[in-house]
Amino acid sequence: MPKQWLLIVFMLLGLGWSTIPPTRAALPVAVQGQPLPSLADMVERVVPAVVNITTATRIRMVENPLLSDPFFSRFFNLPQMEREKMQQSLGSGVIVDAAKGLVITNYHVINKADSISVTLGDGRTVQGKRVGMDQETDVGLIQIPSQGLKAVPLGNSDTLRVGDFVVAIGNPFGLGQTVTSGIISALGRKGLGIEGYEDFIQTDASINPGNSGGALVNLAGELIGINTAILAQGGGNVGIGFAIPVNMAQRIIVQLVQYGEVRRGLLGIKTQDLTKELASAFDITQRQGAVVTQIIPGSAADKAGLHSGDVVLSANGRPIQNSASLRNLIGLSMVGERIPVEFLRDGKHRKVTIEVTEPRTKRIDGEHLDSRFQGSVLEKLEDGEPNQPIMVISVQPNSTAWQAGLREGDLILSVNRQLVRSFEELAAVVKKNRREMLLNIQRGQEGFFILVR
């Protein structure tokens, strides 16, 4: 026998190859007497708390595309010929309170649903009802019958570190419960334009369409995040997924259970990031914080004594890295909550306690501004940012505003190509041209024009 073959035979015998059945091609159960590590026990405990969500939405369809234009149908006095179709979508959810049957998921999974079906780990399918939703954080809460449920224990997302091992559980592509693993790639991801309040956990654990609302857990089987988004042009996993920290989700759940919505408060300040250049200009060594650039007169911050130029270092006991982190903290605080704020003024540390107040809003019937807004209610936040647009709060079906194309939640950015940031500005612009009104509308992530005559 050639020498090289003898060498291979001796190597295989030395590894114990001769004792392994030739038909088996699997990893050994142990190496040098030690069992191989496995996540199976932890996964078995958590999987029953992760559910699959199927939603159905009625979509109204117009038989003739021309009839979708309200001007065309009114001009020719044509009846509306509509039919409906049901659109289904898939997602995931996590049982966070077994006794009450509370399941947390994403806002975008359930916000348009006319019916919600929840498939449990034991194969049962039950109907869910919405408890509340918050678009700004992409959190939704539904309730299902509480019989035989198991909740996942909640972890502490504030103690996470980059490099921690995590496991994602959900329903990708409607395949059913699927488990993937990875590590925490980054913490505190902001500025992605995915949600209004962003403080994402980034992970390389595979997250795909259908995983939305599923669980991100640590190796102890504790929920640390709610899977919400992926960063990929083709919609598939490329190792960059995002989850909402469970501590943020918990604060949202409390308000959704109590009010069915999140009632955000304000301090009445505007801030910007503390940069190296600003720190030098203020003659301070601090490198993280939020610089107060404006105080809204009469606001809670004004009454507490904050001034423009103050540098906020911490709020409610949590360090403030930048303007976004302060906005997130205040935006997730409840109205009436008293928040200790530490800040620098003239190089000296100071502390105040500020009570989060409810935003002051001004509402008006659209018809009072112009007859073409008949049937709509408009709102402007009085103590918010001056450049914040006017919002359409409600529109009565088949009213003048409805037929013009306005819908609840629309933001009016401009009228006749002029920015309008107050009811007075809006009334002045439409008064100049009574014949037609060109509205620039933002609806969700889309922007478009509506021509009203």
Strands (E), 72-124: 82-97, 102-105, 115-119
Is 161 found in the same domain as 130? no
Is 172 found in the same domain as 238? yes
Q: Is 115 a catalytic residue?
A: no
Catalytic residue among 89, 92, 185, 212: 212
Catalytic residue among 89, 108, 157, 204: 108
Residue 225: pLDDT band by 50, 70, 90 thresholds? very high
Is 70 found in the same domain as 93? yes
* Secondary structure class of 107 (helix, strand, coil): helix
Asked whether residue 11 carries a pLDDT value surpassing 80, the answer given is no
pLDDT, average across residues 399-404: 88
pLDDT of residue 57: 79
**Predicted confidence (pLDDT) per residue in 302-312, tens digit:** 888 899 889 99
Is 366 found in the same domain as 345? no
Asked whether residue 348 carries a pLDDT value surpassing 80, the answer given is yes
Range of the domain at 273: 269-355
d(CA 431, CA 433): 5
Is 292 found in the same domain as 222? no
Taking the CA atoms of residue 25, residue 31, residue 34 and residue 39 in that order, the dihedral angle to the nearest 10 degrees is: -50
Is 138 found in the same domain as 64? yes
pLDDT of residue 251: 87
CATH number, position 324: 2.30.42.10
Element containing residue 50 per DSSP (H, E): strand 50-62
CA distances from 389 to 186, 356, 365, 441, 447 (A): 33, 23, 16, 10, 13
d(CA 258, CA 393): 22
Structure token digits, residue 17: 């190859």
Is 284 found in the same domain as 223? no
CATH number, position 106: 2.40.10.10
pLDDT of residue 97: 94
Q: 188 versus 63: which is more confidently predicted?
A: 188
Residue 192: pLDDT band by 50, 70, 90 thresholds? low
Inside any domain, residue 30: no
Is 370 found in the same domain as 351? no
Domain end point (choices 355, 390, 416): 355
pLDDT of residue 235: 53
Domain end point (choices 234, 259, 284): 259
Element containing residue 13 per DSSP (H, E): helix 3-14
Identity (one letter) of the amino acid at 405?
Answer: G
pLDDT of residue 387: 67
Domain end point (choices 88, 112, 143): 143
Asked which of 16-20, 80-84, 101-105 is least confident by mean pLDDT, the reply is 16-20
Inside any domain, residue 28: no
Is 365 found in the same domain as 351? no
pLDDT, average across residues 196-205: 82
Q: Is 310 a catalytic residue?
A: no
Inside any domain, residue 72: yes
Q: How many domains does the chain have?
A: 4
Is 229 found in the same domain as 321? no
Residue 266: pLDDT band by 50, 70, 90 thresholds? confident
Asked whether residue 69 carries a pLDDT value surpassing 60, the answer given is no
Inside any domain, residue 70: yes
Inside any domain, residue 29: no
Asked whether residue 246 carries a pLDDT value surpassing 70, the answer given is yes
d(CA 386, CA 294): 11
Contact criterion met (CB below 8 Å) for 96 and 151 = yes
Asked whether residue 236 carries a pLDDT value surpassing 70, the answer given is no
Asked whether residue 376 carries a pLDDT value surpassing 80, the answer given is yes
Inside any domain, residue 148: no
Is 103 found in the same domain as 183? no
pLDDT, average across residues 29-35: 65
Asked which of 96-100, 341-345, 385-389 is least confident by mean pLDDT, the reply is 385-389
Identity (one letter) of the amino acid at 128?
Answer: G
CA distances from 252 to 105, 150, 186, 202 (A): 12, 21, 22, 20
pLDDT, average across residues 400-416: 88
Residue 276: pLDDT band by 50, 70, 90 thresholds? confident
Asked whether residue 193 carries a pLDDT value surpassing 70, the answer given is no
Average confidence score pLDDT of the chain: 80
pLDDT of residue 12: 35
pLDDT of residue 50: 93
Inside any domain, residue 163: yes
Q: 34 versus 193: which is more confidently predicted?
A: 34
Inside any domain, residue 234: yes
Asked whether residue 206 carries a pLDDT value surpassing 70, the answer given is yes
CA distances from 141 to 88, 265, 312, 329, 330 (A): 19, 21, 33, 21, 21
Asked which of 241-255, 260-274, 401-415 is least confident by mean pLDDT, the reply is 260-274
pLDDT of residue 5: 40
Is 252 found in the same domain as 162? yes
Catalytic residue among 138, 370, 383, 410: 138
pLDDT of residue 417: 86
Q: Is 212 a catalytic residue?
A: yes
Q: Which residues contact 247 (CB under 8 A, 6 or more apart)?
A: 156, 157, 158
